[in-house]
Structures are given as structure tokens and as C-alpha cells.
Structure 1
Amino acid sequence: MRLKLAPGEHVIVRTRPHPRPLALPFVGVLVVLAATGFGLGLLSRQDLPPVVVEWVPLAVVLVLAVAALILLRIFVRPMMRWWGTRYLLTSRRMITRRGFSTRREHELALASIYQLDTSQTLLQRSTGSGNLTVDLGRDRTVVFPDMPQIHTFKEFMVEAIGDLPLTVMFDGVDMEADPVHDLEGY
């Protein structure tokens, strides 16, 4: 589904979270594949006891099924979660979309943002990613985890907030209008 933009609104950045959190599940895939290969190698040995030999076909299917279930759990789910998450920064909104079949969308008007904070762990710093915390006032914050190129993204957001018309920033009160000249009688 395409993003519907208001007149004068344009997309500045369209990105996904940084793929760094997928590194540990990938290592898990390698361990599961190595363990599966080792288990299948044990089951293919010629010196197995006769009692075990008759159960080898069932054991092979069982080992492969368990390996497939573990791979689904430790890698496919995080991969699909990462693949289905998008961050969109437009000239007026920050939009987060999550999911494939059931899509959740969260929008933040740039005019409602009071403060932007970034934080980076050592691993995030080495890859240029980080967590972007958006302060909406009244103790309401939204965290966008693993934002790629966090400092560049923050600069784009600050620039987009600065480019907003002043009327948007103050609930429709036209701040650029002529002030009232003289209030005689008050």
C-alpha cells in the first residue's frame, strides 16, 4: 500500500532498522546447521547397533524436523520482523510500519516533537546505528531502535522540523500574521 501524502509533503528518508541485530540469530543458524550435520553424520555410520539401524529413517526425519523448527524460531522470525519494519520520514511526519499480513502503522507529527535524543552502544557505534528517542512532552517518549546512520537521520529530522511553517507548530494559530497594533480601551 502506497503512502498517501498531503499536498506539499514529500518523503525525505525511507529505511529499515539496521540489520546488526540479525548477527546473533545468524550465528545460531550456523550452530544449528553444524549440530544437524553432526547428528546426521552419526546416524549414517556403519557401526550402529542393529536396534538403532531400524530407527535411523525415523531419527533422520526427527533431526531434520527439529532443526527446521529451531531455524524458524531463532532466525526466520527475527528476519521477517526486521524485513517487515520500515521507517519513513516525510516533511511533516515520522511513520513506522510493521508487519506483513497484519500491518501496524504509527505516525508522529513532526510538529509534536519537543526533543530528539540519540544513544548508541559500542556495537551500534561501530556500525553507525543507534536508538532514536523522540520526546513528545508530558513524559511521553517513543524509541526507534537500531536506526541506521543515526546522526544523519537526526539531522534530516531536525532540518524537516525547522522547515515546518510556524502555523503548524502552534495549533493553527497564525504566528506570522500582523500583530494587533493598539488595544485602545483596554
Structure 2
Amino acid sequence: MKLGPGEHVIVRTRPHPRALLLPFIGALVVLAASGFGLGLLSRDGLPSAILGWVPLLVVLVLAVAVLILLRIFLRPMMRWWGMRYILTSRRFIKRHGFSTRREHELALASIYQLDTSQTLLQRSTGSGTLTVDLGRDRTVVYPDVPQVHTFKEFMVEAIGDLPLTVMFDGVDMEADPVRDHGQEESR
């Protein structure tokens, strides 16, 4: 990521790992079921009709387990691993993708309002959903932001630290227009 002059990174984080809880539980179930299946195939007293098929059935159980693990655990893990929320002194960036990288960038000066929401589960883990209002009925939602209230405070502080010329498209809003206008009339 290339930073502009005077820009610095404030926060770089991933979404909260709570999103991996269900895939992890699913992986445990798949591993337990696979272990049970392999245990059944390795026991004594199997019918003679199945004994010839045991090596193939073992490979089949392992292959099915690996395919299911890739689908329900590795895929969400890679999605989580490849996602980042980056807050700089001028921009908010969401990067995602592992093999194909995508990036969504918002200038902090374009943000009108920040809202946070938390479900009961999110409150217990400290994460939450950050909704960014860009005006004109345009909102962007960022789910599972860790420590969402602290992250929002960092964003509000970064927006407050922006120079006024950035906030108002180059117009110097610090000058008092009434006083300057009055001085021009008296000249």
C-alpha cells in the first residue's frame, strides 16, 4: 500500500476471528466422523465381503473428509486471512482476497456519519458492525470489526485531524468571510 505525503497508518486489523467459530466446529465434527469411520473399518470381525474393499474405503473416507474440510474450514479461513481493515490518516481501506486482491477505499473527508451496531454475541467478543454513511443514501457496511467502538473513535479522531482544505475541496474555510468581505468594501 502506497501512502501519500504526510499520510500514516493508524490501525491495521483483520475482521474478528469469531467468524471462524462455526467452520471450526464443523471441522471438529468432520474429523470426529472420519475417525469413527476409520475406526469401524479397522476393527476385527468385519464381514469378509468388506475386507477386500477396506483399503479403498479408507482412501475414500480420507478423501471425502479432506474435501469437506477444504470446503467448510479452509475456505472461510483463507477468506478471513486475506481480509484487512486499514485506517490511515486520510483513508479507510478494506482489502480482501487471497489470490485475487480487491481493495475498497474511502476518503475520510467523504464520510458524513459513522454508526456502530452489535449483536449480543458481538458484544461478548467486543466486535461489531461499522456502517459508514457517505451521504445521498450511500452507505457501506463493514462487519465483524474488532473493538468496533475504539475503531470508530480512531476514525472520528482521524477525520477531526484532517486539514480543513481537505474537508472542503481546497476552499480555505478558516478565514472569516464576513470580516474579509467588510475589509474589501472599505477599500
TM-score of the two chains, using structure 2 as the length reference: 0.94
Identity of aligned residues (%): 84
The secondary structure found in structure 2 opposite 1:172 is coil
In 1, Cα distance between equivalents of 2:97 and 2:133: 25
Q: In the alignment, what sits opposite 1:7?
A: 5
Superposition deviation, residue 99 in structure 1: 1.3
- Residue of structure 1 equivalent to 2:88: 90
Amino acid at match of 2:138: R
1:30-179 matches, cutoff 5 A: 30-177=28-175, 179=177
Specify the SS of the correspondent of 1:41. Answer: helix
Alignment of 1:14-33 (within 5 A): 14-33=12-31
Tell me the secondary structure at the aligned position of residue 61 of structure 1.
Answer: helix
Whole-Å Cα distance in 1 between the matches of residues 172 and 146 of structure 2?
Answer: 36
How many pairs align? Answer: 182
- Structure 2 unaligned residues grouped into runs of 5+: none
Q: TM-score, normalised by structure 1?
A: 0.95
Pairing 1:181–2:181 present: yes
Render the CA deviation track for 1:109-140: whole Å, top value 9, x for unaligned. 00000000001011100010000000001111
What is the root-mean-square deviation in Å for CA atoms of aligned residues?
A: 1.1
SS state at 2:106 partner = strand
CA distance in 1, matches of 2:101, 2:54: 44
- For the residue of structure 2 that corresponds to 1:181, the secondary structure is helix
Q: How far apart in 2 are the matches of 1:62 and 1:84?
A: 31
Unaligned runs of 5+ in 1: none
Task: Give the secondary-structure state (helix, strand or coil) at the position aligned to 2:114.
Answer: strand
Instruction: Tell me the secondary structure at the aligned position of residue 167 of structure 1.
Output: helix
Deviation at 1:83, TM superposition (A): 0.3
Letter of the aligned partner of 1:22 in structure 2?
Answer: L
Deviation of the 1:48 alpha carbon: 1.0
Separation of aligned partners in 2, 1:80 and 1:155: 29
TM-aligned CA deviation for residue 100 of structure 1:
2.1
Q: Distance in 1 between matches of 2:165 and 2:155?
A: 18
